[in-house]
Structure 1
Amino acid sequence: MKKLSLSLLFVFIYFSSFGQNTLKLGDNKSPKATLADIAWLSGHWRGEAFGGITEEIWSPPLGDSMMGSFKLVSEGKTSFYEICQLVEENGSLSFRLKHFNSDLTGWEEKNEREEFPLVKVEKNAVYFDGFTIKRISNNEIHMYVVISDEGEAEEVEFKYFRFSK
């Protein structure tokens, strides 16, 4: 019986982690990385999520950061924005963002922000704590973010395609 319980526990752990695209930093230190490692993110991207159109725009690296913005449009109206920053500091990278309503009133307090330290960087992927960006091709990226709501955490996938008129 003990062997069966351990086997079932292993199967549960295996399948509950299968398909997960995000990582946790835990007590580890962020690895060495530079903005050059993720310069492929630069560009204008569009996709669909949360029942609407999502848009991300990322500037090329300049100085010690990359500047980004996010917008969700549902039923022809902007739902919310994010101002984002990928920053080089202490020999590694960090992803920061602030949320804004459609009228630019902020979600976070004035001096607060969401921050995701770097966990791992690969040629076509960058893993921040609870937030992952993967390059599928030069014209497609996927982002995965762990969103918590009332104690429940869920990994959400965003598929983006390079936008051009």
Structure 2
Amino acid sequence: MSSQAQTTVVGKLADISFLEGHWLGTYNGGPIEAGWTAPAGNNIMGYIRMIKDDKPALYEVFAFEQTEKGPVAMVKHFKPGLIALEEKAVSDRYNFIEAKKNQALFEKDDISVRIIYERRSQNQLVIQRGKLEDNKWVFIDLFIFNRIP
């Protein structure tokens, strides 16, 4: 889809079903593990677990819920001990913008960040983070995962 297109795209959870599976990568010198369920009951659940020096560093819990405007990604972050970083009733929210085959783009509610979820091959999943620089979105690979059984 062209960025100039004026049509409103309503995404479906099927557009991000490529996330399903168990994934492992490295981040900040330690392993990072992720998993996402298949779509069911108008949602997809997921997690990311970061480990540093053989100890938990950060947990992220994801819920992608279907809305009339498309999937909304809600993320809560926890320190070791399952201590929430966000307030009890608050989560980071990312709204669906568009999807292509094995790729979906989301934007944070405050428009400060965009996230691309991309399955680059059958066994590789990449999450990219984008920030606005000189009126252009610039993306970097944030997490690179390989499928694990």
Q: TM-score range by the shorter chain?
A: 0.7 to 0.9
Provide the rounded CA distance (Å) in 2 between the counterparts of 1:30 and 1:111: 29
Residue 90 of structure 1, CA deviation? 0.8
Provide the rounded CA distance (Å) in 2 between the counterparts of 1:29 and 1:105: 41
Give unpaired runs (5+ residues) of structure 2.
1-5, 108-113, 132-137
Residue 30 of structure 1, CA deviation? 6.3
Give unpaired runs (5+ residues) of structure 1.
1-27, 148-152
Which of 44, 55, 60 pairs up with 2:33? 55
| Alignment correspondent of 2:144 | 159
| Alignment correspondent of 2:89 | 111
Q: Which amino acid is the alignment partner of residue 87 of structure 2?
A: E
CA contact (8 A) 2:50 2:57 kept: yes
Structure number with bigger Rg: 1
Q: Which has the higher strand share?
A: 2
Q: Would you say 1:92 and 2:70 are equivalent positions?
A: yes
CA contact (8 A) 1:97 1:115 kept: yes
How does 1:126-141 map onto structure 2 within 5 Å?
Answer: 126-129=104-107, 130-141=114-125
Q: CA offsets per residue over residues 93-130 of structure 1, 9 Å max, x none?
A: 11110000110010000001001101111012000011
Provide the rounded CA distance (Å) in 2 between the counterparts of 1:31 and 1:97: 22
Provide the rounded CA distance (Å) in 2 between the counterparts of 1:29 and 1:96: 25
Q: CA offsets per residue over residues 123-160 of structure 1, 9 Å max, x none?
A: 1200001111111111111101248xxxxx98452110
| Alignment correspondent of 1:83 | 61
Residue 31 of structure 1, CA deviation? 2.2
Equivalent residue of 2:15, what SS?
helix
Residue 29 of structure 1, CA deviation? 8.7
Q: Would you say 1:42 and 2:27 are equivalent positions?
A: no
Structure with the bigger RCO (C-alpha within 8 Å, sep 6+) is 1
How does 1:60-79 map onto structure 2 within 5 Å?
Answer: 60-79=38-57
TM-score (ref. length: structure 1): 0.74
Provide the rounded CA distance (Å) in 1 between the counterparts of 2:18 and 2:76: 23
Residue 53 of structure 1, CA deviation? 0.8
CA contact (8 A) 1:34 1:91 kept: no
